Amino acid sequence: MTLWPTKEKLGGLSEAAPNLAHGRRFNFMRLFHFSEDKTIDVFVPRPVAVPSRRRAGMEWLNGPLVWAIQETHDFLYHFPRECPRILVWAHATTAEADREQWLGCYRAAAYIERRWLPALSTSTLYRYDMPAETFEPLDDAGMWVSRTTVLPLEQAELIDLPATLMSRGVDLRVVNSLVPLKPLWGTTLHTSGIRLRNAAGWT
């Protein structure tokens, strides 16, 4: 028996239907987990495959957890899982010069290597709506974690990932190499690098 009544196909400008679970509507916040696997019935806490260097006291984040992303930052995961990417967006202390130079009229910008464009253009992702009750915020780019098993509420199929990025105001920028973008971490923008171990020449 499936845990969700329907599957939506999301592409371009279409939006997800309101999230209903157990007679309650979570309008205040939605948490998602994105996967290339459409068969997940339950999320069990597990350690990260490649541990990250954490600041003192935060090493537990490499341990067994279920991860989710807040709806406001879901565009971070509108990519094939192993696709290396750099994403930037403005926050309260971003200098106007940096905003104009790197973002222009866009909410955010996403950089990927040219060799990953075919995979991005043809991949399908499955977005799982996650119940918020057991999750705790990390106060870091919309990330939340749960230390206990989580049953997803709904599943939606995402097609045409470049279009879903566009619908969220994210400018997709295809480059030959991500390496020349390292100076972005020296700007006043929020800069997030994901799966950069897979980027050509990244050290």
User: Nearest-CA neighbor of 27 among 35, 36, 38, 17?
Assistant: 17
Question: In 10 A of CB 185, how many CB atoms?
Answer: 12
Contact 154, 128 (CB under 8 A): yes
Domain ranges of the chain: 30-198
Residue 111 clears pLDDT 80, i.e. is over it: yes
Q: What is the pLDDT of residue 15?
A: 34
Average pLDDT, the chain: 85
| pLDDT over 70 percentage in the chain | 81
- pLDDT surpassing 60 at residue 67: yes
Answer whether residue 200 shows pLDDT above 90.
yes
pLDDT of 184 higher than 70: yes
Label residue 36 by pLDDT band (50, 70, 90).
very high
Q: How confident is the model at residue 64 (pLDDT cuts 50, 70, 90)?
A: confident
Mean pLDDT of 159-168: 95
- Residue in the structure block whose two tokens are 């919309």: 142
Look at residue 20 and tell me whether its pLDDT is greater than 90. Answer: no
User: Mean pLDDT throughout 143-148?
Assistant: 92
Single-letter residue type at 130: M
- As a whole number, mean pLDDT of residues 48-64 equals 71
**Is a pLDDT exceeding 50 seen at residue 176?**
yes
Q: Which residues pair with 84 in a beta bridge?
A: none
How would you write the chain as a 3-class SS string?
Answer: CCCCCCEEEECCCCCCCCCEECCEECCCCCEEEEECCCCCCCECCECCCCCCCCCCCCHHHHCCEEEEEEHHHHHHHCCCCCCCEEEEECCCCCCHHHHHHHCCCCCEEEEEEHHHHHHHHHCCEEEEEECCCCEEECCCCCEEEECCCECCCEEEEECCHHHHHHHCCEEEEEECCCHHHHHHHHCCCEEEEECHHHCCCCC
